[in-house]
Amino acid sequence: MTTDQRPDLKTACDAVLEGVVGSGGVPGVVAMVTDRERDLYGGAVGRRSLDSDEPITADSVFAIFSTTKAITGTACLQLVEEGRLDLDAPASTYAPELGDVQVLDGFDDDGSPRLRPPASAPTTRQLLCHTAGFAYDFFDHDYARLATEHGQPSVVTASRAALRTPLTFDPGTQWKYGSNIDWAGQVVEGITGQRLGEVFAERIFAPLGMTDTSFTLDGGMRDRKVTMHQRGEDGVLAATDFELPEPEVHMGGHGLWSTVPDYMKFIRLWLNDGAAPDGTQVLRPETVAMAARNHLEGDMTITGLPGVIPQLSNDAEFFPGMPKTWALTFMINDEDAPTGRPAGSLAWAGLANLYYWIDRRHGIGGFWATQIFPFADPASVGGYFDFEAAAYGALG
């Protein structure tokens, strides 16, 4: 892996990766740290699959799940800059199907969903902030009931039917993590007249030089794919044949495949006030500054995520007890984190235990990639926080 490695940083981070791979830990991990200009550390330890001796490598391909969201947010912000998207207009202006959305107000005695019109129409800002009202079945009991009792397809199917779920509250009244940014992707498609992957490729990936990121496993990407693993109730990991399907809809919330080096290029975009390596402004500096602040209304904060489907997620919360808010489209830690990450930094994660942070104050960021269900796997998320702390410790 070509990086400008500092010996102290390499020693500290290598120790974390080597310690988390093997006996009860993770099969393999790729992790990197960057500053505003270049990668400072890159490590790849372990195997792509427990069923193979093939090593995991820097260019291994991961299903990156919700780390897709910030890329969709970036596409939305570009359209705001061009005057083509009003974040506070009804999102149905651009994605007409949203005009039919209803609020789930519980279930009748016979189990039928009880629906009503929303008090207001969801806006694109609310979609990007997760305050529009959409949820995920693996984090919400009512959505799980819609799936098990009424055949609602999982969002992971990337089907149009999977998008057609009700709101769980009136827009703008709560924060709840869910399929909101999948709908933001539909807003982008409605404005541009292109599939989301085409928008990403032309407007984000090309200027950043991201050649290994796509909604489909194109070319040699499939040959480098990391196997998905499932941790059983006994704590033992097993390789699975899980693979995201060929998407009917390019889901703005979860659908991309990528490599860690490619994603580092996206992190540097946010560290560099929206500039690509050649100086091209993918986003304007003032747009980045606007997007990187809290956009929740009033004293609203984000909450922990309950693991409603244990096979897909444990109960999850970053830095429990610490106030956290939401930017466009990242979590903000409102206090200094125990890893060394300063207040005001940006971060999020992906369902298969992928994690990143963006520290714009100090100009550093990092990404940790594994392929393990359920989310918030103790070995992987614990390794990630140790990795982040090791990076801050070595960089001072």
* Residues found in the chain: 396
The DSSP line for 10-52 is HHHHHHHHHHHBSTTSBSEEEEEEE-SSSEEEEEEEEBS-TT-
Backbone angles phi, psi at 188, to 5 degrees: -60, -45
Per the CB < 8 A criterion, the answer to whether 185 and 168 are in contact is: no
Alpha-carbon 141 to chain mean position: 21
What contacts 154, CB < 8 A, 6 or more positions away? 137, 147, 162
Q: Within 10 A of 178 (CB to CB), how many other CB atoms are there?
A: 24
Half-sphere exposure of 290 (CA within 13 A, CB side): 13
259-281 burial, b if ≥16 CB within 10 A, otherwise e?
A: bbbbbbbbbbbbbbbbbbeeeeb
Give CA–CA dist 336/340, Å, rounded. 7
Q: What is the maximum span of the chain, computed from C-alpha positions, in angstroms?
A: 65
Within 10 A of 206 (CB to CB), how many other CB atoms are there?
A: 14
Are 253 and 351 within 8 A, CB to CB?
A: no
Catalytic residues: 66, 69, 177
Q: Contact 260/355 with Cβ under 8 angstroms?
A: no
